[in-house]
Chains A and B, each alone.
Chain A
Amino acid sequence: MAQTTLKQKLGTTAAAAASVVLCAAFLLPVAWMVATSLKSTSEIFAIPPTWSFEPTLEHYQRFAGQARIVSRYINTIIIAIGSSALSVIVGSMCGYALARLRLRGAGVIATLILVSRAIPPIALVVPMYLVFRPLGLLDKHITLIITYTSFLIPYVVWLSRGFFIALPTALEDAALVDGCSRLGAYFRIILPTALPGLAATMIFCIILAWNELLFALILTNREAVTIPVSLAGLAADTEQGALWGPLTAIGTLTVLPIIVFALFVQKYLVTGLAAGATSGATN
């Protein structure tokens, strides 16, 4: 008996060590990005590369107090959260129907929704521009929120469909017997039960929306421009070149909020997805 525990302990320690090493390997490029953002330009271009350096905030100061960057930050937050929330609410209803309700052609509908993600964004953005412009909808937060749902909803439908299949049926049956309508039962009983899974889905949606570039580039000019557009400008600077310092600095600033958010909801991240992933492909 004691031998097994020892063996188990050893196994756990080995697994822990290995996962820390692997995690570090995946994080190394990001760590490099953060380190580079804190180096002076001459240290960035040292040959051979340096390991220790005098940290400086000069590259961050470039953005501090730039009204444009701050407002674009706020735009990005509004648009990412808005589009993700809308997608999760709407998409999860669909996912529920496809998973639980008797629906003619559910499989075909699910496949079609999934495949709509394969349309090249370039084929969507130009016609969208042509429609939105005469309607006066360019450069509005709501426009980006709505258009982002076009690529987020399929994602939500596909994942949430999995969660609902895994959910026990007893709860909603009880609600239905109590005289609730399906819709009432859904919002009162089912949605709260699936909340952790939906929270995880929402994190993925936020990440996708947070980094979206092409729609933001074409559909905004001034008021609703997002951070990825600023980054694209920095990376394609035709005067100074892509300056490594500023680029890594704003890159770090962009990653930070999501990391904080992810650590905050890490509990949901694994338990939430669990149900969805296991049964996602079983039906």
Chain B
Amino acid sequence: MFASKSRRVFTIFVLTLIVAISSVGLSSAQEQVTIYGMVNDAFARIWLENLVPAFNEKYPNIEVVIDPVPYGELLPKQLLELTSGAPSYDFIVTDDPWLPQLAATGLLMDLKTDLADVTDPDYNWDDFAPGALAAGEWNGGQYSVPVRSNLLLMFYNRTLFEEAGLEEPGEGYSWDDLAADLPQLVRDTDGDGTDDVWGIATYFGRDPLTPTIWQAIFNSNGGQLFDAELNPTFNTPEGIEALQYHIDLAQYGPPGVSAYTFTDTLEAFRQGRVAVMFNWGSVYHGVAINPETTSLTAEQVGVAPLPGGSAVDSSSHRGIWTAAIPREAANPEAAWTFIQWMTSQEGEVFTSATVGQFPARISTLTGEAPQDWLVDVFAAINAGYDAIGQGDMWRPRLPDSDGVQQILALHHSRAMTGDVTPEQALADAEAEIIEFLTDKGYYD
């Protein structure tokens, strides 16, 4: 009897202790939250090393775990992650053309409405450049917010322009001006009889991003890929002309330029071999500032939007990384706290100064640049936002945006190599896109 009673007392005692300990544990667990994010491998590390510690200074109770995924497989991974069961991520960072696909699943939070209660009253949505904020919109909802603004920009090597006796590209620089400058930028600098610096490097090879150059030219001359009913409207004399222009640029590139995509382009410009490069703005730090990756200096590198056409006096294309929160995320509030901090005015100043990513807020872009080298960059981005807004310069806003770019890339490349004429390439691309979109049920 006695033994069983004492055992009962002991049991109660132990249970009480367990409850006491676990309640202490629980209360502290409520304060300490871990959020998980799926992020492009290319900037995951700098986020972990610079961004997260700065965030934790202000919010020490939110631990941020960042999983990097290589760019090529990011979309399928995010799509699988969202659609097959309870999400294991609290936020995902996605590329511009992918957001419609992810938002269309209905599995992302509408940041403006679903999280309105936990949004900082000072968080000013209207301060974002409209063209940038549009990268996170789908069907009237705001499913993500720009964290890493990116635009196609023209980089030029001031030294090479000067040596060729040319004026550097200024306000109102047009496609015709570029065409006039390029032949003079191909030169033999050491007098050995072969050219060793060239006019231009950009996307020419087979890559889903290659058509964006053609699209920028086409858009700046008033063209659009589709009409409101999604009928292709690019197989036109203007579309063909823009494609021919893009193809002709390759004459003034280094040997092998016709296969160039992102990396080759970057390397040729960073090593001072080409005078002009069209590439994404986010490469600026590695092109002009970081001596580990470039042979150039900030003084040497000019940056501006791409040249202008008949409809818009400069051009660009949008490629903004935005952050989204899955509807079923375990800690949406903490994730939103992190994203709000990063995309607030304070956060944008910090990230553009230390992480090398560009702001999307007008107040940041027009305010005082946090670093000297950002003055030119901010100006170029500002002008770029104007251009994309005027010419609707972005990839098709459809769930199957990448599929369309893929088809354009193939036929662009066929025209590039001379396998087919630009006319034929665009006609084939048009037919294939119609078939593809029909198959996906867009015309039902």
Give B19-68 interface residues, CB cut-off 8 Å to A.
Answer: 38, 40-43, 65, 67-68
Given contacts A229-B70, A236-B41, 16 further A-B contacts (CB under 8 A): A45-B295, A47-B196, A126-B80, A129-B80, A129-B84, A130-B84, A138-B88, A221-B38, A232-B72, A233-B68, A233-B70, A233-B71, A236-B72, A238-B280, A239-B283, A241-B266
User: What would be 15 A-B contacts, judged by CB atoms less than 8 Å apart?
Assistant: A129-B84, A217-B69, A217-B77, A221-B88, A222-B65, A229-B70, A232-B41, A233-B69, A236-B72, A237-B42, A238-B40, A239-B42, A240-B286, A241-B263, A244-B267
In the complex with contacts A45-B271, A133-B85, A232-B70 CB distance below 8 A: yes
Nearest-Cβ distance from residue A231 to partner chain B, whole angstroms: 9
A242, CB-defined interface residue at 8 Å: yes
In contact, B73 and A217 (Cβ under 8 angstroms): yes
User: Cβ of A58: which chain B residues have Cβ within 8 Å of it?
Assistant: 292
In contact, A221 and B267 (Cβ under 8 angstroms): no
The CA of A154 and the CA of B84, in the complex, are separated in Å by: 30
B293, CB-defined interface residue at 8 Å: yes
Residues of B that sit less than 8 Å from A by CB: 38, 40-43, 65, 67-73, 76-77, 80, 84-85, 88, 196, 262-263, 266-267, 271, 280, 282-283, 286, 292-293, 295, 356
Nearest-Cβ distance from residue A230 to partner chain B, whole angstroms: 8
In contact, A218 and B77 (Cβ under 8 angstroms): yes
User: Cβ of B286: which chain A residues have Cβ within 8 Å of it?
Assistant: 239-241
Q: Return the chain B residue nearest A122 by Cβ.
A: B76
User: Cβ of A222: which chain B residues have Cβ within 8 Å of it?
Assistant: 65, 67
In the complex with contacts A45-B267, A222-B67, A240-B293 CB distance below 8 A: yes
User: Cβ of B41: which chain A residues have Cβ within 8 Å of it?
Assistant: 232-234, 236-237
In contact, A233 and B84 (Cβ under 8 angstroms): no
In contact, A238 and B71 (Cβ under 8 angstroms): yes
User: Cβ of A75: which chain B residues have Cβ within 8 Å of it?
Assistant: none
Give A239-255 interface residues, CB cut-off 8 Å to B.
Answer: 239-244
A193, CB-defined interface residue at 8 Å: no
Q: Return the chain A residue nearest B283 by Cβ.
A: A239
User: Cβ of B356: which chain A residues have Cβ within 8 Å of it?
Assistant: 239
User: Cβ of A237: which chain B residues have Cβ within 8 Å of it?
Assistant: 41-42, 71
In contact, B88 and A238 (Cβ under 8 angstroms): no
User: Cβ of B70: which chain A residues have Cβ within 8 Å of it?
Assistant: 217, 229, 232-233, 235-236
The CA of A138 and the CA of B38, in the complex, are separated in Å by: 15
Give A143-200 interface residues, CB cut-off 8 Å to B.
Answer: none
Q: Return the chain A residue nearest B196 by Cβ.
A: A47
The CA of A240 and the CA of B68, in the complex, are separated in Å by: 15
Contact among B271, B280, B293, B295 with A243 in the assembled complex (CB-CB below 8 Å): B293
Contact among B84, B85, B293 with A41 in the assembled complex (CB-CB below 8 Å): B293
Nearest-Cβ distance from residue B300 to partner chain A, whole angstroms: 15
The CA of A42 and the CA of B84, in the complex, are separated in Å by: 47
The CA of A34 and the CA of B378, in the complex, are separated in Å by: 40
Contact among B80, B85, B266, B280 with A218 in the assembled complex (CB-CB below 8 Å): B80
Give A87-134 interface residues, CB cut-off 8 Å to B.
Answer: 126, 129-130, 133-134
The CA of A237 and the CA of B266, in the complex, are separated in Å by: 12
The CA of A129 and the CA of B76, in the complex, are separated in Å by: 11
User: Cβ of A130: which chain B residues have Cβ within 8 Å of it?
Assistant: 80, 84
User: Cβ of A242: which chain B residues have Cβ within 8 Å of it?
Assistant: 263
The CA of A229 and the CA of B70, in the complex, are separated in Å by: 7
Nearest-Cβ distance from residue B147 to partner chain A, whole angstroms: 14
Chain A CB within 10 Å — which of B65, B68, B282 has the most?
Answer: B68
In contact, B283 and A134 (Cβ under 8 angstroms): no
User: Cβ of B65: which chain A residues have Cβ within 8 Å of it?
Assistant: 222
Contact among A41, A217, A232 with B292 in the assembled complex (CB-CB below 8 Å): A41
The CA of A232 and the CA of B69, in the complex, are separated in Å by: 9
User: Cβ of B295: which chain A residues have Cβ within 8 Å of it?
Assistant: 41-42, 45
In contact, B42 and A233 (Cβ under 8 angstroms): yes
Nearest-Cβ distance from residue A142 to partner chain B, whole angstroms: 18
User: Cβ of B71: which chain A residues have Cβ within 8 Å of it?
Assistant: 233, 236-238
Nearest-Cβ distance from residue B206 to partner chain A, whole angstroms: 15
The CA of A126 and the CA of B38, in the complex, are separated in Å by: 18
Interface string of A55-68 (1 = CB under 8 A from B): 00010000000000
Give A22-43 interface residues, CB cut-off 8 Å to B.
Answer: 41-42
Chain B CB within 10 Å — which of A129, A134, A229, A240 has the most?
Answer: A240
In the complex with contacts A41-B292, A47-B196, A240-B42 CB distance below 8 A: yes
In contact, B283 and A240 (Cβ under 8 angstroms): yes
The CA of A221 and the CA of B70, in the complex, are separated in Å by: 11
User: Cβ of B42: which chain A residues have Cβ within 8 Å of it?
Assistant: 233, 236-240
User: Cβ of A129: which chain B residues have Cβ within 8 Å of it?
Assistant: 80, 84
Nearest-Cβ distance from residue A159 to partner chain B, whole angstroms: 31
Contact among B43, B67, B84, B267 with A241 in the assembled complex (CB-CB below 8 Å): B267
Nearest-Cβ distance from residue A283 to partner chain B, whole angstroms: 41
User: Cβ of A45: which chain B residues have Cβ within 8 Å of it?
Assistant: 267, 271, 295
User: Cβ of A241: which chain B residues have Cβ within 8 Å of it?
Assistant: 262-263, 266-267, 283, 286
The CA of A229 and the CA of B80, in the complex, are separated in Å by: 18
Chain B CB within 10 Å — which of A217, A239, A242, A244 has the most?
Answer: A239
User: Cβ of B73: which chain A residues have Cβ within 8 Å of it?
Assistant: 217-218, 232
Chain B CB within 10 Å — which of A130, A134, A238, A244 has the most?
Answer: A238
Q: Return the chain B residue nearest A235 by Cβ.
A: B70
User: Cβ of B80: which chain A residues have Cβ within 8 Å of it?
Assistant: 126, 129-130, 218
Those 9 A-B pairs whose CB atoms lie nearest each other, nearest first: A233-B41, A241-B263, A241-B266, A233-B70, A232-B70, A239-B42, A238-B42, A236-B71, A240-B286
User: Cβ of A41: which chain B residues have Cβ within 8 Å of it?
Assistant: 292-293, 295
Chain B CB within 10 Å — which of A126, A221, A235 has the most?
Answer: A221
The CA of A231 and the CA of B283, in the complex, are separated in Å by: 20
The CA of A217 and the CA of B40, in the complex, are separated in Å by: 13
Chain A CB within 10 Å — which of B65, B84, B282 has the most?
Answer: B84
User: Cβ of A218: which chain B residues have Cβ within 8 Å of it?
Assistant: 73, 76-77, 80
Nearest-Cβ distance from residue A156 to partner chain B, whole angstroms: 29
